[in-house]
Amino acid sequence: MKRTGIISTAILFLFLGTTAPAYAQHGQKGGGGQGKSQARGQQHQQRMQQPRQQRANNGAQRQGRSQASYRGVRSNGRAYGSVRQSSVLYNRGLHNGWGQSRARSWNSEHRTWVQRGGYVGYRVPQDRYDLYFGSNHYFRMNGVPVTYVGGYPRFQYNGYGVQFADPWPQTWPATWYQTDNVYLNYNNDGYYLYNRNRPGPGIAVNLSY
């Protein structure tokens, strides 16, 4: 009986010794599976983030192109006669149209409203005129949105459309619209734009509202 008990005990210890490594190996396999699952989750997250980052980069590129277009000349689709209107929000010298509206001979190209047969455009009410017109209400042309109609500048000023009817004098510097203070004034026969930095005859302008 003692021999049988000793043999049974030995068999029990042998069984426990073989199952313990097997259990340990199963635990290691399970841990490796969990690590692989985490790695796959990270790879999936990275793949999901890449399209979002790419869309953000594309959006930034489109915004950059839009801002570049905004600073230059772009057509707004409307046309006046055979001349297409182009919006220029940041005036950039002769390239954008100021050069083509410069006189070659001011004395022969300039005409007063009397010489044109009289002013027939919009007339500003006196209370509004006192608020925005006259030599005390001066501004610079590069501070207002400018378009070109028929080769001449047109701009918006406090709700009024102002269209050049004359070229600007060739004696003015090419960058006068950036450096000179100008104002609008009614002078007996019609409206004119005057240059405070360069006294002389005004440029005939036509107003609309």
Q: Which residue type, as a one-letter code, is found at position 86?
A: S
- Which residue from 150, 151, 157 is spatially nearest to 193, judged by alpha carbons? 157
CA–CA gap between residue 19 and residue 13 (Å, rounded):
10
The pLDDT assigned to 60 comes to: 53
Predicted confidence (pLDDT) per residue in 119-173, tens digit: 999 999 999 999 999 999 999 998 888 999 988 999 999 999 999 999 999 999 9
How many C-beta atoms lie closer than 10 Å to residue 91's C-beta?
Answer: 21
Instruction: Mark out the alpha helices in 72-175 (DSSP H runs).
Output: 106-109, 126-132
Is this model's pTM higher than 0.85 or not?
A: no
pLDDT above 80 for 51: no
Average pLDDT of span 169-191: 95
Predicted confidence (pLDDT) per residue in 70-120, tens digit: 233 232 333 322 223 333 333 444 445 788 889 999 999 999 999 999 999
Domain ranges of the chain: 1-71, 88-208
Q: What is the largest CA-CA distance in the chain?
A: 142
The pLDDT assigned to 81 comes to: 29
Give the list of residues 6+ apart from residue 144 with CB closer than 8 angstroms, or none: 155, 156, 157
Which strands form 73-80's sheet, in the order they lie side by side?
73-80, 83-88, 146-149, 152-157, 160-164, 203-208, 191-195, 182-186
